[in-house]
Structure 1
Amino acid sequence: MASTQQPASSGSDGQRYATNDERKRKRMESNRESARRSRKKKQQHLEELMSQLTQLQNQSTIWREKIGSVGRNFHTLDAENNVLRAQLAELTERLDSLNSLTRFWADANGFAVDIPEIPDTLLEPWQLPCPIQPITASADMFQF
């Protein structure tokens, strides 16, 4: 006689499958939630990076404008400096000519005239005989 026997644990097997299904469902739900949080965090990070990019681009534009302004100021000052050098050379030449005429007149008329020579330090101010001292600067000197 062939009898069909069911395992004694068939009721517990069903419960075990239900428990496994419940665990699997909870794990899948947890994974979905974790993935959602991960996507949200990634999106926030991307938005922060985009914000930083915009801020850095704005700063870059500001610095380029400042650099351009400094460059234009440099060229203006360089041109003015060249004009002043040319004027200095012209005035020095005039003074030398006047000194020469004054010496000639003084010699012709018998007068003793003491005409000092133009000191080189006036012609070359970068070679002034003074102690070398550091030049101090502060940030507010360079306001744009």
Structure 2
Amino acid sequence: MSSIQPVSSGSGSEDPQYVMVDDRKKRRMLSNRESARRSRMKKQKHLDELINQVVQLQRENNEIVQRVDTTTTCYINVESENNILRTQMMELSDRLQSLNNVLHIIEDVSGFSMDIPEIPDPLLKPWQLPCPSQPIMASSNMFLY
């Protein structure tokens, strides 16, 4: 470290005022260097914390994306199964309607009174099942996602 020294007069003795200013300059320079060093260290520490936070947030984001993908897959599977069940229900309703029509014709032709149940419309009363004696099977893991 080089220090700046005032140019001395030709007599060989230094002026005390210059020495005092020089000492203050040296102390201020050292203080400024130390302050700059602390500032750089603080800035580096903050940068390291931000980098760690970014890594943690990316990890959490990846986990959330995986859960969303899993949930979406489950939703697609359930929706597909629902579509199949709706189609089957429509087919069975059509068959039942056809059989009821045949029974009505037989009733009209034969003259015998038959007990022909009404076919419930699932769109009007979706909470009423067409076959109340049939239990609904569900698994405990269907609501995990």
Give the TM-score range, shorter chain.
0.7 to 0.9
Closer, same or farther: CA 110–92 of 1 in aligned 2, 3 Å: same
State the percentage of identical aligned residues.
43
Can you list the C-alpha shifts for 1:66-123, whole angstroms capped at 9, x where unaligned?
A: 1111111111011001101111001101110111111122222211224243232x2x
Determine the C-alpha separation between the residues in 2 that align with 1:109 and 1:53. Answer: 82
Equivalent residue pairs, number: 121
Q: Which amino acid aligns with 2:61?
A: S
Determine the C-alpha separation between the residues in 2 that align with 1:126 and 1:34. Answer: 77
Closer, same or farther: CA 142–61 of 1 in aligned 2, 3 Å: farther
More helix by share: 1
Structure 1 unaligned blocks of 5 or more: 1-10, 130-140
SS at match of 2:15: helix
Structure 2 unaligned blocks of 5 or more: 1-12, 129-141
TM-score, with structure 1 as normaliser: 0.74
TM-score, with structure 2 as normaliser: 0.74
Higher relative contact order (CA 8 A, sep 6+): 1
1:108 pairs with 2:109 = yes
Q: What's the counterpart of residue 135 of structure 1?
A: none
> Would you identify which runs of 4 or more consecutive aligned residues in structure 1 move more than 6 Å?
126-129
